[in-house]
Amino acid sequence: MAKSKFLAFTIGIFLFGVQASAQQYKHEVGFQSDNDSYLAQGSDRYYTNGLFLNYRFATKNAAHHSGLKKKIVEISAGQMIFNPRSGYRPEPATQDRPFAGYLYVGAAMSWFHTEEHMLKAAVQVGTTGPNALAQDGQELLHETFGFYEPAGWEYQIGNEAAVNASVQYVRLLQRAENAKTDFSFEGYANAGTTFSGAGAGILFRAGNIEQLFNSASYDARIGNDGATPRHELFFYAKPQLNFVAYDATVQGSLFSDNSPVTYGVKPLVFAQQFGVNYSTGRLSLDFNVIFKTKEIKSTASAHQFGSITANYRFN
């Protein structure tokens, strides 16, 4: 009797979990953490840490618009921290990249179409320089985990108000008949006081994948049209060529000469991203690694880092 009750209880919990996940959610909160230490190589250089918080919600049913599947609004905040080959470079002559930080809040809107193409427009406002609190963030991180004490932040790029805008376009190119693999085009352009440039790449996915307008690939598992996304578990790869017109974290301010250490940027940077994503009803988990060719006109070398993302959905 006890075993049968336990079995019934277990089945009940399982069915409740399936039922709880078999619905559509309209809201999503999440975070993303970037760090080169995730690759376990012992490096602490260049783009050394990033932390991003996001809240997204799907607007009211967009189906009455021709071809429009859904619209998603995003509110975000984030901090990016950069340092030379090591966070301990007390002398400017040893700094092959400036110490720098970027702190912002942002908003974005994504339009997803039934023919599986997407347009996203975003704007960010914030600051670079000491006001970005990157020195405080790195010192707190290193103290918390027992790392070395950073040195050299007194030579970081100067304070500058940041206003940046970007657009991204995605279109499905080809999907296999068994719906287990597909290829999509991605292109972007950004312009602002911190970052300006453009890029294009191809996203390849393999595994249990959803259509682009319901996939975690583009933060589209929320909605307001009653459609319930299937569970996803897939590997992905994305080679991308980037044109860099301006990067304030390397070149300093557009409007003033208030940065003691600056360098030029490489105009063309190739990036290769590999990752795996798991998404169920409420939860999405993603881990990926990004390898980049040399970005700076100095003795700096190529760079790589890892990224972890978790999103939780609710009504």
| Tens digits of residue pLDDT in 22-50 | 688 999 999 999 999 899 887 889 999 99
CA neighbor of 214 nearest in space, from 35, 72, 4: 72
Residue 225: predicted pLDDT: 81
More confident residue, 6 or 181: 181
- pLDDT band of 120, cuts 50, 70, 90: very high
Q: Write the DSSP string, 278-300.
A: EE-SSEEEEEEEEEE---BSSS-
CA R_g for the chain: 22
Q: How many helices (H) and strands (E) does the chain have?
A: 3, 12
Furthest C-alpha separation in the chain: 80
Class of domain 29-314: mainly beta
Rounded-to-5 percentages of helix, strand, coil across the chain? 15, 50, 30
- pLDDT band of 189, cuts 50, 70, 90: very high
Residue 117: predicted pLDDT: 97
238's tokens: 């994305």
Residue 41: predicted pLDDT: 80
Residue 20: predicted pLDDT: 47
User: Residue 215 and residue 211: Cα distance in Å, rounded?
Assistant: 6
pLDDT in tens, 259-296: 999 999 999 999 999 999 999 999 999 999 999 999 99
Q: Among 13-27, 141-155, 241-255, which stretch is predicted with the lowest mean pLDDT?
A: 13-27
Residue 308 has pLDDT above 50, yes or no: yes
pLDDT in tens, 3-22: 455 445 444 544 444 444 56
Residue 64: predicted pLDDT: 58
- pLDDT band of 195, cuts 50, 70, 90: very high
User: Residue 45 and residue 88: Cα distance in Å, rounded?
Assistant: 10
Q: What average pLDDT does the structure give for the chain?
A: 92
DSSP 92: G
Residue 264: predicted pLDDT: 97
23's tokens: 């619905």
Residue 149: predicted pLDDT: 95
